[in-house]
Structure 1
Amino acid sequence: MKEFLPKLIPNTIMFLVITVFISIFKSVFGEINSSVGVTIVVALLVLMQKDLTKKPIENFLKLLTINVFLGIVSHISYGNMWIGIVLNFITLGLIGYLLTKDLNKSIILPYGLQYLFMLYKPVQGIDFTNRMIALIFGAVLIMASQYIVHSSKKEANAVGEVEDRNKLEAEICVAKYDNDEYKKFRLFEKDIYIHKKRALYAIKLGALTSITAFVTQYLGLAQGAWMSYTIFSLTEIYSEDTKVRSKKRVEGTMIGGLIVIISFLVLKDDTSRTLIILLAGYLNPFFKDYKHIIILVTISSVAPLALSHGSIFAVGQRLMFVIIGAILALIVDKLIYVTKHEDNFNKMASIKI
């Protein structure tokens, strides 16, 4: 309880702000584009840890380009599933490689999910126009929030610039002494260095998501998107992370599904059942362990389906596709690449500067 109390007020305020924002977003851009609003909020919160106001025009153009690119490519990919195999592989691969420079998935989370949400919720006509406007609005909102948060931190920014330079120098040193991490290619008379771990991670992510997206569309699997969501979540740079998260994902889905079934047996009216969805969404920020988060995410996503299709059917569908996704992630992780955190630490420890 002591761990929860300090978070109570800020998390409650955050929940209310996000709820109001999503409600306004849906009323402006349409219900079908509400998931775009969710990923915009996630991107805003993740990027808040960085100061993008140092190069405002350059960073805004990057955000704008990413959003517009993902919106257009996801539209084309769903329109032709055969072309989609290639486009999905390239797009998720680029996201997996370009946004993991620090060897973690924090930045690719909102953009990878944004692409998958748009891919599995295709729109046409005015809804597509609204989606593109929403994506442009998202880039503007993120940069505006950057100025609000970082404008009063001039001194901190100066310190941050020094830290950034030190970090860059350290990365250069690591690249210089740890050549095994990079593969050099010669292209158009230029030397290009590809980070091996990030490249292999990008290949795994792109291959798995493109294949499952094709199978889902080809077979017309109504809930097949959860295979791709699961694979995106479980595919990691380091193998032990994939194994641990896969176990927690399946366990969390089973527990969350069981909670939905029991709750729906006890609570018969839709109002009470809807409150369960809101409660799960509210409690999410209070937990850090992946298993606990998946329990709440499962409740939030399965319960709406259960309202119209029945709780057992909804839970069964979700669990089946999550298990399939976890198995695929583990198989491909084993076949394509196996590495451990310790491998990286040992190499870093051996560097003499």
Structure 2
Amino acid sequence: MNKKLIISKSLVFIFVVAFVVGFKSIFGDENTLIGITTITATLMFLSKDLTISPIRNSIRLILLNLFIGICAMIALSNIWLGIVINFIALFTVSYTLCYNLETPMYFPFTLQYLFLLSAPVNIDQIPKRLLALIFGALFIMLAQIIANKNKMSKSGNKILISVCNAITSKIESMKGKSKENTDIDIESNINAFRKMVYDKREVEFYLTEEGRIKLNLSVALESIYTMLKVIDKSDDVLYIINNLEQLILDTKDVLEGKDIKTDLEKDIYEFLSECEKRNISDLLTLQLLDSTILLKDTLQELKNLKKENYNLVKSIGDIKNNGKIKYMSKNHKSLKFCYAMRVAITITFGAFITDLFNLSEGRWIMFTMLSIINPIYEISKGKIKDRILSTIIGSIIVFILFNIFKDTTSRSLILMLTGYISGYLKEYKHSTICVTVSAIGSAAILGDIGSLTLNRLIFVALGALIAIIANKVIFPYKLKDSNDELQAIYKGAVSDMLREIKNVAEGIKQPHGIKNLLIITSLVEEKLKVNNQILGINSYDKLIKEERFLVTNIYELYIWIIREKVNPKYVKYILDEINQLIEYKNEPIENTIEEIKANIREIKDLRTKITLSSIVIILKELRKISDIKIAV
């Protein structure tokens, strides 16, 4: 454990304690739990960037919190009305904040709803409770503005610089100057960067100018690195990488905020002129050249982009006509729907039992259900044993400690120390022990520990039992279902990307659409990797890599065409070849590929050579992916 981590965790813990204490002093003891869920949500949301639309997102968070607060008050007014209201509230929160491709954000808000059900207030205290909820929403947004204002420039640039370093290392290795550094996971880093671009979109579609340019940069850098790993050294390749080496250094300097002396426009012109003289015909060399040109063009754009225009959004294209990229399944078999229904039905039942039998500690039934019910069955299954065992261990620990230390000060210190230790624990079973100590300890700090410990164990066991049954029979959703849904999303995104190529070749430009599609494929890949790791299978790894290579080439071809790099003389011929990409149905394409390769050798125009090489590589990848799917 390094010193920086200890300092960081300690500062976060001090801040959390100070916030909760301050929240309690302003809004009273009855609203302390809102303070806890607010700080939990604040820390969770820091992984997302909501700063592109602070006012809109603030209003959304306020409305969500008020919806939760008002629903809880209505549900508490009548046990039978509560069944309907609890179901509506729990379904709405779970469905809205459960995502296919991102980290779900439902937990703090669902927990807040359960806290409000467990801690009702009098009529005269309602205004203060609503104010506490509004303040909580505004605080989440304030933290966003402070922490994530320039997230893409700070954290994002570091990721892109690390990729530049990996490319430099690869080039030096190819030249025999040094050994290649293979420690960096390029794909995961690029995906993390694209997630930042994805978060910072206007109306969940339009990219900022910074996001648009740096997304292109990420594509160029990844493609270059991929090509360098598989390409054979030749005179043409060595010429390209000699130019590329300085270009990568310039890219790093621009990302680090330094001025560069290179005249990029002149450099690009001279570079292309020499490449045209060389009459390059090798497919991979042409693709390396394509990616190098994209990097040069993109770097020129980034260099000229003023910082005050980083968050500028150019709303080109109609969202409605482009479908707003409906990558999320909205039927009754989707992850969102299945999870929302399961949570709503199960916890509504738990709340009904608690009210019907007037169980003073019945909230632990609901808390346990929320903890164990996960969107995916296999993950829920693994949590059940850990939850029960950790609750028993935590109960024993707090029982022993509170029988030794009986004064309020000592017990408070124990709870604070437990909260601090939990910040270092990543495994669910370990963190649950700390949660149990904190929960029982907080309730028993001034009273008897024995009855509380026994009651909690009984209610946790009951909640776990109900959750086990719910996971199996109420809208079950397994990893296989998730993989099927993700593959369908991916297939749809690739098909849409191919259609976008045809559209742009015909003069119909929707640049934001294909950028969204590219990012979505990256998010799907990361999710599939996690799912397959849980399942313990690696047979899909090769498929994911090939699909990623395909998507990168489709995107580069689109950018190549939209930047008017296609020779007008060959537009009709290229359109015919693009139609073959869209209409590909696993049929033999060897003759088509050989015909295009022959044309590449005959044609002297470099721009057309690059365009045709992209089409050939995409066709070959479509065929290869089809073969892999049959084998898998």
TM-score by length of 1: 0.86
Is the partner of 2:100 in helix, strand or coil? Answer: coil
Corresponding residue for residue 10 of structure 1: 8
Among residues 135, 138, 162, which one is paired with 1:137 in the alignment?
135
The code of the aligned residue for 1:48 comes to: L
Among residues 412, 417, 420, which one is paired with 1:282 in the alignment?
420
Taking the aligned partners of 1:25 and 1:214, their CA distance within structure 2 comes to 30
Corresponding residue for residue 106 of structure 2: 108
Q: Point out where structure 1 has 5 or more consecutive residues left out of the alignment.
A: 176-180, 184-193
Taking the aligned partners of 1:288 and 1:133, their CA distance within structure 2 comes to 34
Contact 1:68/1:136, CA 8 A, preserved across alignment? yes
1:97 counterpart = 2:95: yes
Corresponding residue for residue 301 of structure 1: 439
Contact 1:306/1:313, CA 8 A, preserved across alignment? no
The code of the aligned residue for 1:303 comes to: G
Corresponding residue for residue 75 of structure 1: 73
Corresponding residue for residue 38 of structure 2: 40
Q: 1:64 to 1:173 in 2, by over 3 A?
A: closer
Is the partner of 1:221 in helix, strand or coil? Answer: coil
Q: 1:174 to 1:64 in 2, by over 3 A?
A: closer
Is the partner of 1:97 in helix, strand or coil? Answer: helix
Corresponding residue for residue 220 of structure 1: 358
Q: Point out where structure 2 has 5 or more consecutive residues left out of the alignment.
A: 158-192, 206-321, 495-632
Corresponding residue for residue 344 of structure 2: 206
Contact 2:152/2:197, CA 8 A, preserved across alignment? no
Corresponding residue for residue 263 of structure 1: 401
Taking the aligned partners of 2:102 and 2:86, their CA distance within structure 1 comes to 21
Q: 1:57 to 1:319 in 2, by over 3 A?
A: same
Deviations 1:244-283 (A, max 9, x none): 1111110110000011122233334333222211111111
Contact 2:100/2:335, CA 8 A, preserved across alignment? no
Deviation of 1:19 after TM superposition, in Å, equals 1.1
Q: 1:149 to 1:245 in 2, by over 3 A?
A: same
Deviations 1:120-143 (A, max 9, x none): 100123422111111111122222
Corresponding residue for residue 50 of structure 2: 52
Deviation of 1:162 after TM superposition, in Å, equals 4.5
Q: 1:270 to 1:201 in 2, by over 3 A?
A: same
Q: 1:345 to 1:310 in 2, by over 3 A?
A: same
Among residues 147, 150, 156, which one is paired with 1:149 in the alignment?
147
Deviation of 1:163 after TM superposition, in Å, equals 4.2
Taking the aligned partners of 1:6 and 1:104, their CA distance within structure 2 comes to 28
The code of the aligned residue for 2:144 comes to: Q
Taking the aligned partners of 1:153 and 1:208, their CA distance within structure 2 comes to 39
Taking the aligned partners of 2:457 and 2:373, their CA distance within structure 1 comes to 18
Corresponding residue for residue 187 of structure 1: none
Deviations 1:22-76 (A, max 9, x none): 1111111000100001111111111122221212222111111001111111111
Taking the aligned partners of 1:279 and 1:309, their CA distance within structure 2 comes to 20
Taking the aligned partners of 1:344 and 1:69, their CA distance within structure 2 comes to 30
Corresponding residue for residue 452 of structure 2: 314
Contact 2:34/2:133, CA 8 A, preserved across alignment? yes
Q: 1:118 to 1:105 in 2, by over 3 A?
A: farther
Taking the aligned partners of 2:90 and 2:477, their CA distance within structure 1 comes to 21
Deviations 1:75-127 (A, max 9, x none): 11111121111000010011111111236664101110111111110012342
Taking the aligned partners of 1:269 and 1:57, their CA distance within structure 2 comes to 47
For 1:161-240, what aligned pairs fall within 5 Å after superposition?
162-163=197-198, 172=325, 181-183=329-331, 196-240=334-378
Q: 1:344 to 1:125 in 2, by over 3 A?
A: closer
Deviations 1:281-339 (A, max 9, x none): 11111101111111001101112333444222111111111110010001111112333
Corresponding residue for residue 465 of structure 2: 327
Higher RCO by CA contacts (8 Å cutoff, separation 6 or greater)? 1
- More divergent stretch after superposition (256-265 vs 109-118): 256-265
Among residues 306, 331, 336, which one is paired with 2:474 in the alignment?
336
- More divergent stretch after superposition (341-350 vs 38-47): 341-350
Aligned residues: 334
The code of the aligned residue for 1:96 comes to: S
